[in-house]
Structure 1
Amino acid sequence: MSQNVFDLSQLKLKLTESLENISFDINKGIKTLNNDSYCVLGELKDLKDKFEEVETMAATFYLNNYLAPYTDKYLEISTCIQHLSHQRHGALIVIERKDQVDLLIRAGTSIGATLTQSLLESIFYPGNPLHDGAVLIRGDKIYSAANVLPLSGIGSGGKKLGTRHRAAIGLSERCDALVLVVSEETGVISFAIEGSLFPMSVTSSMI
């Protein structure tokens, strides 16, 4: 079993255990409602926090599944976005899957180089002339950089979104590409697929 497959199975097991714990806590909360002198608001706040943690864990798990069939460079991509997140360097990365995106984006600068963590990270270093646009990854290569993506007109859960996040959703609304975003304001990593945006946890389980 490869390390990636092992880590994925471990993450799935952790996700299952977390959901089972939440189910137990919910049932416990229902029983305490019979006691009129006991307030469950604190438990509800704790459940909300646990649900948010499980959501980011699930997003990480499914990202592995979405990427694996289309690039062998997931480790490099994962390492890169974690570094960018810690440094608060904004990034927008398109991983092309079955649908070609050429007609959906405004092409930037051709790269045509084998994907490495250091090369991908350097593109988004502040001051690099290519850092403002999106990088397009095809298979194991960085195909191009500084690409302009179509913007979505929608928000996410009522929240105002920045240009990178709207661009990620906008492209994912039009094709099956997976689009990674790193926020330069918060360092939060998200990915867009099928018109929806999902936050991710930045942990070793991403690898």
Structure 2
Amino acid sequence: MNDANCDFSPMKEQLSSRIKEITNELNHSLEVLGNDNYCLLGNLESIKEKFIVMESIASSFYLNCYLSAFTDKYEDLSTSVQWLSKNRYGALIAVERGDPLESLIQKGTAINALLTPALLETIFYPGNPLHDGAVLIRANQIVSAANFLPLTSKVISGKKLGSRHRAALGLSEQSDALVLIVSEETGKISFALNGKFYPINTF
């Protein structure tokens, strides 16, 4: 999708560096493939791990691209989810893009306040009455909290989806919303877009 001018040079440089590194390893594997004393398995495992890291960096890059077209607060949003991840506070954040979302969600509590890291982190603080459910963001505003999203009926092979992930996937299947998820169990960050999950770089 090309709904933003994705000029995030440091991330582009990181991606370029990772791609070159993987390409060099693959070329080396080709060169030594005929050597009976060389086992590819260890090298393939290393390449696989590098691909996983690269996917995470790429997801972070495109997340910023997608968000920057719809909110000036994308850096604050990124700061907040990193903090939530570090503290392992579960979170579900639906960012409205082109499609109106209010008809697709079960409305919670109106907030109608400027998006700030402090406010977002407070909402998802464990024990806060609003932390269970999704925050709805439109442009630079937190519109509401404790919203409930439509759940996906999709079954993902080999993966057991929790309620936050099922809700994120469900909304992304029915709209062009971008839905951020922070796992309470692992602290891992991902986002759902167009019915698919993408991991986020947290290092």
Q: TM-score, normalised by structure 1?
A: 0.93
Structure 1: distance between partners of 2:29 and 2:136: 47
Structure 1: distance between partners of 2:76 and 2:64: 13
**What is residue 150 of structure 1 aligned with on the other side?**
150
- DSSP 3-state at the match of 1:76: helix
**What is residue 108 of structure 1 aligned with on the other side?**
108
Q: Output aligned runs, 1:166-181, within 5 Å.
A: 166-181=166-181
**What is residue 68 of structure 1 aligned with on the other side?**
68
- Indicate the larger mover: 5-14 or 51-60: 5-14
**What is residue 91 of structure 1 aligned with on the other side?**
91
**What is residue 12 of structure 1 aligned with on the other side?**
12
Unaligned runs of 5+ in 1: none
Indicate if the aligned counterparts of 1:108 and 1:148 stay in contact, CA closer than 8 A: yes
**What is residue 119 of structure 2 aligned with on the other side?**
119
Deviations 1:81-116 (A, max 9, x none): 111101100000000001001111111111101111
Structure 2: distance between partners of 1:17 and 1:155: 35
Structure 1: distance between partners of 2:196 and 2:22: 25
State how many pairs are aligned: 199
Indicate if the aligned counterparts of 1:123 and 1:130 stay in contact, CA closer than 8 A: yes
Shift of 1:154: 2.1
Q: Higher helix fraction: Structure 1 or Structure 2?
A: 1
Structure 2: distance between partners of 1:81 and 1:184: 12
Shift of 1:202: 1.5
Shift of 1:158: 2.5
Deviations 1:38-66 (A, max 9, x none): 11111001001000000000000000110
Unaligned runs of 5+ in 2: none
- DSSP 3-state at the match of 1:38: coil
Which ranges of 4 or more aligned residues in structure 1 deviate by more than 4 Å? none
Q: TM-score, normalised by structure 2?
A: 0.94
Indicate if the aligned counterparts of 1:156 and 1:197 stay in contact, CA closer than 8 A: no
**What is residue 80 of structure 2 aligned with on the other side?**
80
Q: What is the percent sequence identity of the aligned residues?
A: 54
